Structure 1
C-alpha cells in the first residue's frame, strides 16, 4: 500500500446494513498482534478510507469461551461516538475468523511513546488526562465502565489526539459489578479485595496513569504480585524526589488514589483542578 494512501477521506464508509467481506478491503502491513489475533492496516476499496482491521480467530474465542465478552465489547464500542474513543465501524466473519473494522490510529500506542521518552512533561500529561477524563465522562453517561484503562489501550491519531481503545473488559450497567478484571498495576482496591465496584474504578485508574505519565512507572509497582496487591490495598503511595513533579500534580493524584471510592475526585472536579487548568489551554487539542 503506497504511503500517500495514509491520508484518508474525511468520512468513513457509511453503510451500517452492508454485508462486509474481505473482498471489500485491500490489506496492508501488520500493525500489531495479540493473544487472539492480529491487526492490519487496510483500505476500503470503494471509498479509499483507511481503517485498522482486527482479525480474531474463532478457535481462540471458543477455546477461552469469550463469545459473550466479545459480543458485549462489539456492541458497546459500536454505540460510542466521542473524539477520544476509537470508533468501531462494523464487523463481519468467515468460517475461521471475525473481522472488526476499526478507526486507524496512525500514532500507535501511547505505551510506546511513554517507553521511548521515559516520562511525559506535565503539560503533555495534563492534556492526555483531560482527554481521558472527557472520554470517560461520556462513557459513564452511557453507563459504560471501561475497567482496563492503561497505556497499551490508549492510541494516538495522526494529530496526536488520544483515543481509548480495547473495550474487552468494559461493561454497560447501572448497578455495581463483582467481576475482578483489568490489569494488576491499574486495579482499584475494591477490585483487589473482590468487592462490588462501579464507575469509580475508572477514576482510580486516572490517578495511576497521571502518576505513571509523570514518573515513568505505576505507583504501586513491585517485584512480586502479592506485594503489588498489598500496596494497592494499603494505598501505599509515595512521591520520589526525582523527577521534580509539581505540588498541584501530586495533589490531583492524591485525590484520585483514595481507598474509599465515594471520596475519589469526580471527573468534573478533575477538569476544574488547578493542575489541569494551568497546563491545558484553549489552544490545546484535547478533543
Structure 2
C-alpha cells in the first residue's frame, strides 16, 4: 500500500527527530550539512538510495555516507523502520558492528554517516572465491558470536544475518552492517516474519512467536554457506526450500570438516531452545582450533 507523501512528510520528520543518536546533555552543535563533506566514489546502491565514500572537510575523517531519498522512504511507508535502524545502530559500539556516527537530512534526502569498511562486502568475497577456508570461516563465526552476544545483551535481535549484510574492515574483520530488520524488544519475543528465504528459521515460517535464537539459526546457515558456497536448504522452488527448512534437511558434503559439521548441526535445530548458545560457539573446539580473530586497537577503548 502506498503512503501519501504529503501526509507522511511530518511523520518522517518526527521519526528522524526521535531517532537522533547523540547523547542527552551534549552541547548543541551546528547541524551537519552535505556541504561539510567531500564526496567520493559510490560504494553501493540500494532500494532507497546509494552509499558513497566521503570525507569530512574539517577533520578529514573518512566515512561512508548513505544517502536515502525521502520520497522513496515515504512511498514504501518505512519511516518507522528507518527510525528503528538509526536508533539501534547508533547505540551499538562493538568492533564487529558497523558504527553509525550520526545522521542529518535536508528537504529531499536523509544522510547516514557510517563507518567506512574498506574491504567491502563479504558477499562479494564469497562470489569471487566461491567458498572460504576453515580459518576464515571460523574467524567469522567467532566475530559474529561475540557481536550478537553483545546485541542480545542489549535486547536487540538482528533477524537478517547473511553475507550481503556483512562488511569487512581494514584487517578483514566482519562488521554487521544492515540493521534494517533489527528490533529492540525488552522481552526478546516477536512474531513478525522477515529476513531472507534461505535463512528463515522454522519458527518464522510457521508463524510462531520467536526470540533471539533466530540469530543462532542464521549463523548456522551462514557457516554452511561460507564453507560450501550455497545455503544448506537452497532448492529449485520456495515451497521446497520451506519444506527442507521445516524438516531441517541438512546434507553435508563429504569434504565438510567434521568439526564444522558438528557446529552447524548444533545450530540448525528445529527447537530454538536446543540451539548452541553464542557463548558455546566461542569455545567450540573447531572455532578455537581455526579462528584467527584479531581485535582492532580501538576495540580496547570501546564503550
TM (norm. structure 2) is 0.87
3-state SS of the aligned residue for 2:214?
helix
State which of 100, 109, 113 in structure 2 corresponds to 1:97. 109
Q: CA deviation at 1:136?
A: 0.3
Q: Equivalent residue for 1:114?
A: 126
* Contact persistence 1:127–1:279 (CA under 8 A): yes
CA RMSD of aligned residues (A): 1.4
Q: CA deviation at 1:17?
A: 4.6
The yes-or-no answer on 1:210 pairing with 2:223 is yes
For structure 2, which runs of at least 5 residues remain unmatched after alignment?
Answer: 1-22, 297-303
Q: Equivalent residue for 2:205?
A: 192
* Contact persistence 1:87–1:103 (CA under 8 A): yes
Within-5 A mapping of 1:1-287:
17-18=28-29, 19-175=31-187, 176-241=189-254, 244-280=255-291, 284-285=293-294
The alignment of Structure 1 onto Structure 2 pairs a total of residues equal to: 270
Aligned partners of 1:234, 1:245: CA distance in 2, in Å? Answer: 21
Q: CA deviation at 1:174?
A: 2.5
Q: CA deviation at 1:280?
A: 2.0
Aligned partners of 1:273, 1:112: CA distance in 2, in Å? Answer: 28
* Contact persistence 1:128–1:286 (CA under 8 A): no
Aligned partners of 2:274, 2:220: CA distance in 1, in Å? Answer: 13
Q: CA deviation at 1:230?
A: 1.0
For structure 1, which runs of at least 5 residues remain unmatched after alignment?
Answer: 1-13
Aligned partners of 2:147, 2:27: CA distance in 1, in Å? Answer: 24
Superimposed CA distance per residue, residues 239-271 of structure 1 (whole angstroms, 9 cap, x where no aligned partner):
122xx1211110000000000001100000111
Aligned partners of 1:178, 1:32: CA distance in 2, in Å? Answer: 31
TM (norm. structure 1) is 0.92
Aligned partners of 1:158, 1:94: CA distance in 2, in Å? Answer: 32
3-state SS of the aligned residue for 1:108?
coil
